[in-house]
Structure 1
Amino acid sequence: MIAVENLSVSFGSDAKRRQVVKNVNFSIARGETLGIVGESGCGKSTVLRSLAGLDRHWTGDIRLDGKPVDRERSLEHLKLAQMVFQDPYGSIHPRHRIERVLAEPVRAMKIGDGWDRVAAALEQVGLPASFAERFPHELSGGQRQRVAIARALMLEPQILLLDEPTSALDVSVQAEVLNLLSDLREERGLTYLLVSHDLSVIAHMCDRVLVMKEGEFVDELSSEDLASGTTHHPYSTTLFEASYI
């Protein structure tokens, strides 16, 4: 479903030019969840933004569902992969009612007004349809992140790009959101790329994980490796020792 070859991303120019992603390669099978883990600033969110079409500084080859994508995305490609952002407080417009937040992607793609899909979208993420009339400040952090997930699903994508989807939430709410994502993947046959610095989140969600350090992948771990704490690189060992797994 996702195939990436020699993906590089640089910012700045001349002496200030900085390469933040360095010729990375990976693929994700249909229905699989791949995790990318690493310290803040290592380039993992930049990989997601390149796949989502939000960052156009990349070079290399990106294929979604077998089709090559350009830096300028077609509507078809934009609908294929949608993103859930880290901060449910910042990713939702504070002055828009929830119904408008959810309808906006449909309207932006010019495939309808979106209003008729709002109630079902809320219910699929465990929220009552009556929440459509509320403003974001009337919802808890966990409820806002459920709205963000519902918004990402409005265009019926096959791929969800998850950027630290629980890191801004209370620990008591994190498991609920992760379980919701697991259920949605199974029900809809979705493919996930999940970025996190939290190995417990990665272990809960992912079939495989790539360990990223300074813009490069230095290790690949299977679900069995995650369960047993097996690593193949000193940096991965350091991450495990710093976690609660």
Structure 2
Amino acid sequence: MLEAHDITLGYRPGVSVLRGVSLQLAAGEWLGLSGASGSGKSTLGRALAGHHTLRSGSLQLDGAPLPRHGLHPVQWLPQVPELAVNPRWRIGRILAEAWTPDAALRQRFGIGDDWLERYPHELSGGELQRVAVLRSLAPGVRYLIADEISSMLDAITQAELWQTLAEVAEQRDLGVLVIGHDRALLKRLCQRRLWLENGQLCAEA
């Protein structure tokens, strides 16, 4: 179980983006998170993956603090995949930095062998997003924070990406937090949905 307990954080002194936020995400569960632009959705996602220092509250995995070193068991996937990769590295090295997925899994994500010698700028946004998702699935990862990962993709690529990710998540019992504005998509993918407003969470019907 991934848990946030009464967390508060902000970027400027005296201004809090998140205020007393608590949530639970179980292994194998898909949880949707929506809210207006600027409500703090991405901030919460990055915080769960250890990218922010909390002002107060705590994050726990199975009742223990999240690790500070080594592979983080919670991986944040941004909307813009360029933010997740080194532009000077070839795709093969980008993947190998986290782990070495076998050819069968690469093929499931539509990543051809020839991609491994390319640089990020030589792939389309949809292609690079597949690489970023695959990279996040290293052994030891237990939760994914999918932050608007399909909002810039065409409908076919979007459907293919979610289908493949759902299959792998089910096989590995991964918990997935899906952040997005497309509430119809969240309803299709997720068992529960939350709404973030003014830095606080509430359940969404």
Establish whether TM, by shorter chain, passes 0.5.
Answer: yes
- For 1:195, which of 179, 184, 187 is the aligned residue? 179
State the AA in 2 paired with 1:105: A
1:223-234 alignment runs, 5 A limit: 231=205
Structure showing greater radius of gyration is 1
Pick closer, same or farther for the CA change 1:5–1:27 going to 2, 3 Å.
same
**2:167 & 2:194 partners in 1: Cα distance?**
23
- For 1:154, which of 123, 138, 151 is the aligned residue? 138
Checking the alignment, whether the CA contact within 8 Å between 1:95 and 1:135 is kept in structure 2 is yes
Unmatched runs of 5 consecutive residues or more in structure 1: 107-113, 222-230, 232-245
Which residue does 1:82 correspond to in 2? 75
Q: CA RMSD in A?
A: 1.9
Which residue does 1:110 correspond to in 2? none
More helix by share: 1
- For 1:180, which of 164, 178, 200 is the aligned residue? 164
State the 1:168 CA deviation.
2.1
Which residue does 1:23 correspond to in 2? 20
Checking the alignment, whether the CA contact within 8 Å between 1:102 and 1:154 is kept in structure 2 is no
**1:104 & 1:175 partners in 2: Cα distance?**
27
Checking the alignment, whether the CA contact within 8 Å between 2:147 and 2:180 is kept in structure 1 is yes
User: Relative contact order (alpha carbons < 8 A, sep ≥ 6): 1 or 2 greater?
Assistant: 2
**1:58 & 1:199 partners in 2: Cα distance?**
30
Which residue does 1:45 correspond to in 2? 42
Deviations 1:198-239 (A, max 9, x none): 112211211101111111113x13xxxxxxxxx4xxxxxxxx
State the 1:155 CA deviation.
4.0
- Percent identity (aligned): 37
Normalised by the size of structure 2, how large is the TM-score?
0.90
State the 1:57 CA deviation.
3.5
Pick closer, same or farther for the CA change 1:69–1:88 going to 2, 3 Å.
closer
Residue 10 (structure 1) aligned with residue 13 (structure 2): no
Which residue does 2:123 correspond to in 1? 139
Number of matched pairs: 205
**1:209 & 1:12 partners in 2: Cα distance?**
29
Pick closer, same or farther for the CA change 1:119–1:133 going to 2, 3 Å.
farther
Checking the alignment, whether the CA contact within 8 Å between 2:194 and 2:201 is kept in structure 1 is yes
Tell me the secondary structure at the aligned position of residue 210 of structure 1.
Answer: strand
Checking the alignment, whether the CA contact within 8 Å between 1:36 and 1:196 is kept in structure 2 is yes
State the AA in 2 paired with 1:40: S
State the 1:181 CA deviation.
1.6
**Worse-matched range after superposition: 196-205 or 30-39:** 196-205
Which residue does 2:53 correspond to in 1? 56
**1:129 & 1:58 partners in 2: Cα distance?**
45
